[in-house]
Amino acid sequence: MSANAPLSPPTFTELPYPVYFRIDDFAANSHFISHSHPWGQLNYSAAGVMELNIDGQRFLSPPQYAVWIPPDLPHDARIHQNVIYHSAYIDAPLCATLPDKPCSLMLSPILKAILADFAERQVAIPNSPADRRLAEVLVDQLMMARCTRNYLPASDDPVLSELLTQLQREPGGNRSLADWARQLHVTERTLARRCQRDLGMSFGEWRQRQRFLAALPLLEAGQSVQTVALELGYSTSSAFIAMFQRQCGTTPDQYRRQQGNPA
């Protein structure tokens, strides 16, 4: 498949089973054209990052977070890196207890394990009684998942888009907003105003959220808290721990234990 060829949404009009799984790999720089369907959809990138436009709102789908799309909402997607993709389509009646707005979901270890298990066994339709029970557990876990609107929003503004791209490339950088404003040939006040207008948050809050997301795979890989803190631009572990706890509600060590990695 050409990296620039549009990717295809499902061709069926009804789900083969109330919880249907799509497992696929997508190449960098590919995209889905805008489409909608009468079921809800959980989008999860086990590796890589997708950018989704859902009914005019933009969401990032990095590992550790999924994006929920309620039924009948138009959406498209762009893939910025090679993506290992796990998606669950949820029949409309089951969506009655799930969020009625698009949002980012922090996945529980159980939910991630079910998606990984189905992906490893290439299960699209849960035919066995055991797999059907796992599909029911997945829906239950979605009901309990913490939902957040636009966890790491993007922007169409050319100046702000360039800033966010640079921050993504170097999450440990500590350049101030004033430094970035000089490089981008705008005033600091203008750049701060555009952050609030397009992102709904300050430059500092966006950078903290980005660093939090960058920390998750490093912690899961077993790196020490101090090593992760230094890599992400914090001069002390305590400052990093405080940021992480604000974003996640747990300390880095608690998060790692929840993921089954106590190292």
Per-residue model confidence as pLDDT tens digits over 31-47: 888 889 999 999 988 87
Q: Rounded mean pLDDT of 205-218?
A: 88
> How far, rounded to the nearest angstrom, does the alpha carbon of residue 80 sit from its chain's CA centroid?
13
Instruction: Name the pLDDT band for 138 (thresholds 50, 70, 90).
Output: very high
> Measured between alpha carbons, how far is 107 from 123 in angstroms, rounded to an integer?
20
Instruction: Name the pLDDT band for 258 (thresholds 50, 70, 90).
Output: low
Q: Would you state the pLDDT for residue 2?
A: 42
For the cut 70, the answer to whether the pLDDT of residue 263 exceeds it is no
The better pLDDT of the pair 19, 199 is held by 19
Instruction: Name the pLDDT band for 155 (thresholds 50, 70, 90).
Output: confident
Instruction: Point out the least confidently predicted range of 66-75, 104-113, 149-158.
Output: 149-158
For the cut 70, the answer to whether the pLDDT of residue 80 exceeds it is no
Delimit the domains of the chain by residue range.
Answer: 6-148, 158-258
> Measured between alpha carbons, how far is 52 from 83 in angstroms, rounded to an integer?
13
> Measured between alpha carbons, how far is 132 from 3 in angstroms, rounded to an integer?
35
Q: Please provide the CATH number assigned to the domain covering 158-258.
A: 1.10.10.60
CB 142 within 8 A of CB 107: no
CATH number among 1.10.3720.10, 2.60.120.280, 2.40.440.10, 3.90.25.10, domain 6-148: 2.60.120.280
Q: Rounded mean pLDDT of 217-241?
A: 93
For the cut 90, the answer to whether the pLDDT of residue 153 exceeds it is no
Tokens of 3: 């990296």
> Measured between alpha carbons, how far is 125 from 116 in angstroms, rounded to an integer?
15
Q: Rounded mean pLDDT of 100-112?
A: 87
> Measured between alpha carbons, how far is 120 from 166 in angstroms, rounded to an integer?
35
The answer to pTM > 0.85 is: no
Q: Would you state the pLDDT for residue 81?
A: 64
Q: 3-class secondary structure for the chain?
A: CCCCCEECCCCCCCCCCCEEEEEEEECCCCEEEEECCCCEEEEEEEECCEEEEECCEEEEECCCEEEEECCCCCEEEEECCCEEEEEEEECHHHHHHCCCCCEEEECCHHHHHHHHHHHHCCCCCCCCHHHHHHHHHHHHHHHHCEEECCCCCCCCCHHHHHHHHHHHHCCCCCCCHHHHHHHHCCCHHHHHHHHHHHHCCCHHHHHHHHHHHHHHHHHHCCCCHHHHHHHCCCCCHHHHHHHHHHHHCCCHHHHHHHCCCCC
Q: Would you state the pLDDT for residue 121?
A: 95
Burial of 13 (0-12, 13-18, 19+ CB in 10 A): exposed
Q: Would you state the pLDDT for residue 5?
A: 66
Q: Rounded mean pLDDT of 216-224?
A: 85
Instruction: Point out the least confidently predicted range of 77-81, 147-151, 199-203.
Output: 147-151
Q: Would you state the pLDDT for residue 173?
A: 92
